[in-house]
Chain A
């Protein structure tokens, strides 16, 4: 594992002014950078059910392991909306048939 893995991917959780949570994912989320988001993910998945917005504006790369993270968030919170996804990330979600599951906003 590379030393830079710790900073390659980042997950931030904040309160949405409209209620619920905003989960911001940034960087490159893949198998190698997964450990960087493991602890905020555990913390996030321990929260009560509420609406969640996934902000993927700063996420540049997403592989199947990264998708698994999004799936677990979507599974836990049920009502999930995804906004500001970059084109590569958007297309990964779409070809996986997960656009509806992640509430991916229309382009």
Chain B
């Protein structure tokens, strides 16, 4: 494994996963917070209902006493009897009043003596006989109290029941441990606003401004505002921890994801490097094969009175050198001996045999031998039984000045002659290939080639196709040669190669062109 900086992709993947994680954590937190809020609101609503019914109880209590007072014509003893039961249980101060001409007179009193609101009994005089609970406010005292009163409805006796209920010390609200509300910080205010002056009761920890919810419920002729906050998550610890769990797991996953991408991409880089190395070796090997082949093939000579051009194209399997070759040996102005050949088989054995034959031809020609003799001597150099190869060879002797061409073929195609816009596949007796025993030497064929012409010699790659008879390929080459005969020689060979190339041609192709005017 390479020790390099993490790849951009890996970092990007990790960052994207991290971003998703943070998003999910926020979402979870939001959902949790929402569910916390809605849970809290629901609990406050329950408390509200509880307090509303409390108000109803107070109202019924005072109304009952009012009814008794009316029925007994404000008999203090009757009032005392009924009030006494209440006072014992609640520590209230209960008193019976009659309102006449804007002034209230106390008829009876039970429990703690009433403190009365600041303006004393006058504050009671303004009440109406509605049968409704009237909250008169919080009174300071030992202890502080809540003052409220009720005048029985539809009553003309003008009786009024007045009560003061003690608030707990420090107005402390104690919620029993086993209550469903035990986890809440609560504060109750008289009125519909949060006014510290109007605080009725609060738990030890008053709810702060954050995360608190408030609800207001009717309470007698006024209302109560309940403020609450959760001490601990209402939906449970797991749900509160969920955003953190999501965040933690997400971070781990992001790191794992980034690491995985990093690992995979590094492996890929290694694989790509191996592939590139293989590709390089392949190219190198192909380069070696091509280099060898081209090194074994000659550079065509510059000759006076004769244009010479040659092309060699490797077959589809370029890794192996082929056995095709050509050579042109100058013999004075407009005169040359040329050779085109093809060793059966492929690879180094074919290439080395090719080289041997090519230099043998050069040597025999240099010794002044005629092409007939050269061909017979070549036959001594190769034996299919020993070498498992044979060679098709076309030897030609061209005297352009004299307009004479001599050909001798050992298993090789005769050349195509292009002259005056027509192309002809020359005919020439074909002896067995070099390497195969031949009964007797075949004399050279003489072809008159007067006037400007182009001679095109080639190997089987130019004409052989797997699915057709060789004659079809020969005709294709002949027609293509006729069509391109007017082009400059180099261009003509390129055009021919383009025209003759076919998909998956397995054989090497040599084209040798000789042109004179």
What is the CB-to-nearest-CB distance from A68 to chain B, in angstroms, rounded to a whole number? Answer: 5
Given A68-B388, A97-B430, A97-B431: A31 in contact with B413 (beta carbons within 8 A): no
User: Whole-angstrom distance between the alpha carbons of A101 and B466 in the complex?
Assistant: 24
A39 to chain B, nearest CB (A): 16
* A75 with B437, Cβ < 8 A, contacts A68-B390, A88-B470 known: yes
Task: Kindly state whether residue B216 has any CB partner on chain A within 8 Å.
Answer: no
Does A3 have its Cβ within 8 Å of any Cβ on chain B?
Answer: no
User: Is residue A71 within 8 Å, beta carbon to beta carbon, of the partner chain?
Assistant: yes
Assess the B433–A98 pair: CB atoms within 8 A.
yes
The answer to whether B436 touches A71 (Cβ under 8 A) is yes
Distance in Å: Cβ of A64 to nearest Cβ of chain B: 4
Inter-chain CA distance A97–B393, complex, in Å, is 11
Question: Contact flags (1/0) for B439-473 with A, using CB distance below 8 Å?
Answer: 10000000000000000000010001010111100
| Stretch in B129-137, B172-180, B340-348 with 4+ CB within 8 Å of A | B340-348
Contact B413 A64 (CB under 8 A): no
Do A95 and B411 touch across chains, with their CB atoms under 8 A apart? Answer: yes
Cβ–Cβ < 8 Å partners of B431 in chain A? 97
Q: Using A65-B344, A75-B436, A97-B431 as known contacts, list a sample of 19 further A-B pairs with CB atoms less than 8 Å apart, ordered by residue number in A.
A: A31-B345, A64-B342, A64-B344, A65-B345, A67-B344, A68-B388, A71-B384, A71-B390, A71-B435, A75-B384, A91-B470, A92-B470, A94-B430, A95-B430, A96-B432, A97-B410, A97-B433, A98-B436, A101-B436
Q: How many residue-residue contacts, CB under 8 A, span A and B?
A: 66
A77 CB within 8 Å of chain B: no
User: Which residues of chain A (2-41) have a CB below 8 Å from chain B?
Assistant: 28, 31
- Using CB atoms and an 8 Å cutoff, list the residues of chain B in contact with chain A: 342, 344-346, 384-385, 388-390, 392, 409-411, 413, 429-433, 435-437, 439, 460, 464, 466, 468-471, 507
A87 at the interface (CB under 8 A from B): yes
The answer, among A68, A95, A101, for a CB contact under 8 Å with B470, is A95
Chain B residue, CB-CB nearest to A90: B469
Contact with B along A81-107 (1 / 0, CB 8 A): 000000110011011111011000000
Decide: B468 and A97 in contact? CB cutoff 8 A. no
Q: Which residue of B lies closest to A67 (CB)?
A: B344
Measured CB to CB, the closest approach of chain B to A46, in angstroms, equals: 14
B342 with A72: CB separation less than 8 A: no
Output the least CB separation between A44 and chain B (Å). 14
Q: Of A28, A97, A100, which is within 8 A of B411 by CB?
A: A97
Question: Which chain A residue lies CB-closest to B388?
Answer: A68
Alpha-carbon gap, A75 to B388, bound state (A): 12
Residues of B within 8 A of A91 (CB): 469-471
Nearest B residue to A101, CB-CB:
B432
Q: In the complex, A71 Cα to B387 Cα: how many Å? A: 13
Residues of A within 8 A of B439 (CB): 100
A95 CA / B430 CA spacing, docked (Å): 7
Show 23 residue pairs from A and B whose CB-CB distance is below 8 angstroms, ordered by the A residue. Answer: A28-B466, A31-B345, A63-B464, A64-B344, A64-B345, A65-B344, A68-B389, A71-B384, A71-B390, A71-B435, A75-B384, A87-B469, A88-B470, A91-B469, A91-B470, A94-B430, A95-B411, A96-B432, A96-B433, A97-B430, A98-B411, A100-B439, A101-B436
Question: Contact between B413 and A97 (Cβ–Cβ < 8 Å)?
Answer: no
Interfacial chain A residues near B411, Cβ < 8 Å: 95-98
What CA separation (Å) do A94 and B471 show in the bound complex?
11
| Chain A residue at smallest Cβ distance from B385 | A75
* Chain A residues near B388 (CB-CB < 8 A): 68
- Mark contacts of A49-88 with chain B using CB atoms, 8 A cut-off: 1 yes-contact digit, 0 otherwise: 0000000000001011101100110010000000000011
How long is the Cα–Cα vector from A31 to B431 in the complex, in angstroms? 23
B384 touches A98 (CB 8 A): no
In the complex, what residues of A have CB within 8 A of residue B345's CB? 31, 64-65, 68
Chain B residues whose CB sits within 8 angstroms of the CB of A88 once the complex forms: 468-470
Q: CA–CA, A66 to B220, complex, Å?
A: 118
* Smallest CB-CB A-B distances: 8 pairs: A97-B430, A64-B344, A96-B411, A91-B470, A88-B469, A97-B411, A97-B431, A97-B432
The listed residue (A64, A92, A94, A95) touching B390 by CB distance below 8 A is A64
Cβ-defined contact, B470 with A31, below 8 A? no
Closest to B466 in A: A61
